[in-house]
Structures are given as structure tokens and as C-alpha cells.
């Protein structure tokens, strides 16, 4: 973790927020403006890919090829997708322009949520989740010295994080399945891993696969759901998660036709 300089008046770099507010503001007037958009080690989640590829008018396949790298990072059984920084000397984000972020309305969850970090845990009955927020402080970020105060709820609203949280929660459930080596003795060499990766990160290819193979003959999917998946990447991604759950565990909302 990054060390806080001696002159830093805030005595923490990551702290659980209960009901207290925090001060922060990020705007072009800060002397650190866009410093965090260089040489960043940034994970992309499935919903990030949908938002970014639509913004850039790319297919998910093109977006993955042009803007991401994959590597086995914290999960040895499933690759993570990382945003590829530019080849420039400062390794700036490819979406950084002289005016700031050129994909701002569709920026990834990590850029959107900072300086908050979200953690989710299951409560005792196993059906509900409890969320917690931490405030994270990096020494290069002077936004923490601004005076505007926020509650967590105000920040989430301001950054339009609700849509991301809803689908990221389902992603966490699927990602948890990957963390327990669902591939058996073949490990990550199991061809099912490629199918799962497509379902989670390559939504346009998933659409072609579902609509143009015998998939819909085998699974019980209503015509209205099929229409939604044709039109909406988000609906299709949720369906892709259901499919991954089905073929890894035999459980979940997706059913084979009787
Ligand atoms: S996506 Fe935008 S906010 Fe995020 S690192 Fe790139 S330029 Fe910065
Ligand atoms: S370093 Fe902090 S205040 Fe500066 S641009 Fe990045 S998030 Fe905003």
C-alpha cells in the first residue's frame, strides 16, 4: 500500500466509513488533475466493457483486442481483464485527452467510485448482501484536501453508481464460482473457461453464439427474453451469467427445455 507523506494531514490511507461524511472533490482546478489517469493498474469488470465499447462504438471483441490485457492475477482459475495503458512515456490512459476523460459518462467503475471502495458480504440467511464502503486515500490525490463534504449515499448518487453495483453484485457471485477451480483436473486449460470468458466479457460474440447456434432450442427462454437479449447488452450479460452458473453448477435461473 502506498505510504502517506509526512505532511499529509489525514492519518489513514484506507478506512471503513460508517455513517460519517468525507471531504473530497475532483475538478480541473486541482493541481493533481488527471494524475490518477496515468500508469494505472486498472481492473475492468464485465459491465465496464459494455459501457466502454458502446461509448467507443466498438464491438466487445474489438474493445478487448484494442484496449485490454488479460492475466491470471488474484484468481489463479480465471483471467482478469485490465485496461491497457498507452505506449506514451507517461503510460497515460488511452481515454485521456487534454480536456480530461473523453469517456467520462461511461468511465469504468474504479474511476467512478474513487475515493470509495465497496465490499459486499453475505448476511447470515445467505440470501441478502451487506455492503460496506471504505474511503481510500492516495498521496498523489489532492482531492481529499477540498472542503466539499459527502455522505456515501450522496457520492453514489452523484457518480451514478447504482447501475454498476447491481450488475457487479451478480458478477461477484459468478467470480466466486471461478475462485474454487470449477475446471476440475484440467484446471484453466479446460475449454469451458473460454466459454465462460466469452459469456462474461465478450457480449457481442455471446449474442452471435446464442442467436445462431442451437442454444435456444435447448434452453427454456421466453420470446420476450430473447427480444431483450437481442437489443440490450446488459440483459444479455445477465443472461450470460445465468448460463455460466448453469454449466458450472447445474443451478440458477436457466433451465433446459423439458
Ligand atoms: S477512463 Fe477516464 S477517468 Fe478513468 S483513467 Fe481513463 S481517462 Fe482517467
Ligand atoms: S488525483 Fe484525485 S483529485 Fe486529482 S484528478 Fe485524480 S481523483 Fe481527481
pLDDT for 130 equals: 82
Q: What is the pLDDT of residues 94-144, one digit of tens each?
A: 999 988 999 999 999 999 999 999 988 766 666 667 889 999 999 999 999
Residue 47 burial by CB count (10 A; 0-12/13-18/19+): exposed, middle or buried? buried
- Separation of CA 115 and ligand 2 centre (Å): 9
- Separation of CA 129 and ligand 1 centre (Å): 29
H or E element: which one contains 49? Answer: helix 46-55
- Separation of CA 112 and ligand 1 centre (Å): 9
**C-alpha closest to that of 133 among 147, 153, 148:** 153
Say if residue 44's pLDDT is above 90.
yes
State the sign of the Cα–Cα–Cα–Cα dihedral 191, 64, 166, 154: positive
Locate cell 465478450: which residue? 202
- Separation of CA 34 and ligand 2 centre (Å): 6
Take residue 21 and report the three cell numbers written for it.
461524511
pLDDT range class, residue 51, cuts 50, 70, 90: very high
Which atom, in ligand 2's list, is nearest to the CA of 35? Answer: 1
H or E element: which one contains 191? Answer: none
Take residue 207 and report the three cell numbers written for it.
449474442
Q: What is the pLDDT of residues 197-234, one digit of tens each?
A: 999 999 999 999 999 999 999 999 999 999 999 999 99
Q: What is the pLDDT of residues 138-178, one digit of tens each?
A: 999 999 999 999 999 999 999 999 999 999 999 999 999 99
Could you give the CA distance from residue 41 to residue 30 in angstroms, rounded to a whole number?
Answer: 22
pLDDT for 124 equals: 64
Say if residue 5's pLDDT is above 90.
no
Could you give the CA distance from residue 239 to residue 229 in angstroms, rounded to a whole number?
Answer: 8
Percentage of the chain beyond pLDDT 90 is 84
Contacts with 29 (C-beta within 8 Å, 6 or more apart), sequence order: none
Burial 105-134 (b: 16+ CB within 10 A, else e): ebbbbbbbbbbbebeeeeeeeeeeeeeebe
pLDDT for 187 equals: 82
Which atom, in ligand 2's list, is nearest to the CA of 146? Answer: 3
> Which residue has the least CA distance to atom 1 on ligand 1?
107
- Separation of CA 161 and ligand 2 centre (Å): 18
pLDDT range class, residue 4, cuts 50, 70, 90: very low
Take residue 54 and report the three cell numbers written for it.
458502446
pLDDT for 188 equals: 84
Say if residue 46's pLDDT is above 70.
yes
pLDDT for 8 equals: 46
Q: How far is CA 123 from CA 16, 127, 130, 253, in A?
A: 18, 7, 6, 21
Q: How many degrees, rounded to 5, is the angle at CA 189 between CA 238 and CA 80? A: 50
Q: How many degrees, rounded to 5, is the angle at CA 195 between CA 48 and CA 250? A: 105
H or E element: which one contains 237? Answer: helix 233-249
* Ligand 2 near 27 CB (within 6 A): no
Which atom, in ligand 1's list, is nearest to the CA of 42? Answer: 5
Q: Average pLDDT for residues 84-103, to the nearest whole number?
A: 95
Q: How far is CA 1 from CA 33, 137, 148, 167, in A?
A: 22, 10, 26, 28
**Torsions phi, psi for 198 (to 5 deg):** -60, -45
Classified as helix, coil or strand, 41 is coil
Take residue 109 and report the three cell numbers written for it.
467503475
Mean pLDDT of the chain: 91
Say if residue 52's pLDDT is above 70.
yes
pLDDT for 11 equals: 54
pLDDT range class, residue 189, cuts 50, 70, 90: confident
Probe target for ligand 1 pocket from 68, 88, 101, with the most ligand atoms within 8 Å of CB: 101
Ligand nearest to the CA of 143: 2
Say if residue 1's pLDDT is above 90.
no
- Separation of CA 95 and ligand 1 centre (Å): 6
Amino acid at each position: 500500500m502506498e505510504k502517506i507523506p509526512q505532511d499529509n494531514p489525514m492519518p489513514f490511507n484506507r478506512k471503513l466509513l460508517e455513517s460519517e461524511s468525507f471531504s473530497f472533490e475532483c475538478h480541473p482546478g486541482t493541481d493533481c488533475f488527471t494524475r490518477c489517469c496515468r500508469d494505472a493498474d486498472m481492473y475492468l469488470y464485465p459491465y465496464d466493457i459494455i459501457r466502454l465499447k458502446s461509448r467507443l462504438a466498438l464491438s466487445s471483441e474489438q474493445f478487448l483486442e484494442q484496449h485490454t490485457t488479460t492475466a491470471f492475477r488474484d484468481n489463479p482459475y480465471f483471467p482478469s481483464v485490465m485496461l491497457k495503458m498507452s505506449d506514451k512515456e507517461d503510460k497515460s490512459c488511452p481515454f485521456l485527452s487534454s480536456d480530461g476523460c473523453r469517456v467520462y459518462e461511461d468511465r469504468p467503475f474504479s474511476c467512478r467510485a474513487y475515493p470509495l471502495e465497496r465490499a459486499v458480504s453475505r448476511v447470515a440467511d445467505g440470501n441478502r448482501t451487506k455492503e460496506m464502503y471504505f474511503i481510500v486515500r492516495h498521496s498523489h490525490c489532492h482531492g481529499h484536501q477540498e472542503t466539499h463534504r459527502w455522505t456515501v449515499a450522496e457520492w453514489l448518487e452523484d457518480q451514478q453508481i447504482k447501475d454498476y453495483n447491481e450488475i457487479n453484485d451478480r458478477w461477484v457471485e459468478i467470480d466466486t464460482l471461478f475462485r474454487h477451480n470449477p475446471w476440475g483436473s484440467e484446471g484453466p486449460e479446460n475449454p469451458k473457461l473460454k466459454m465462460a470468458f466469452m459469456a462474461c466479457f465478450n457480449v457481442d460474440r455471446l449474442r452471435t453464439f446464442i442467436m445462431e447456434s442451437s442454444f435456444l432450442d435447448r434452453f427454456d427462454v421466453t420470446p420476450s427474453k430473447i427480444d431483450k437479449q437481442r437489443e440490450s447488452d446488459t440483459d444479455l450479460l445477465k443472461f450470460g451469467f445465468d448460463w455460466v452458473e448453469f454449466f458450472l453448477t447445474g443451478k440458477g435461473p436457466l433451465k433446459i427445455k423439458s
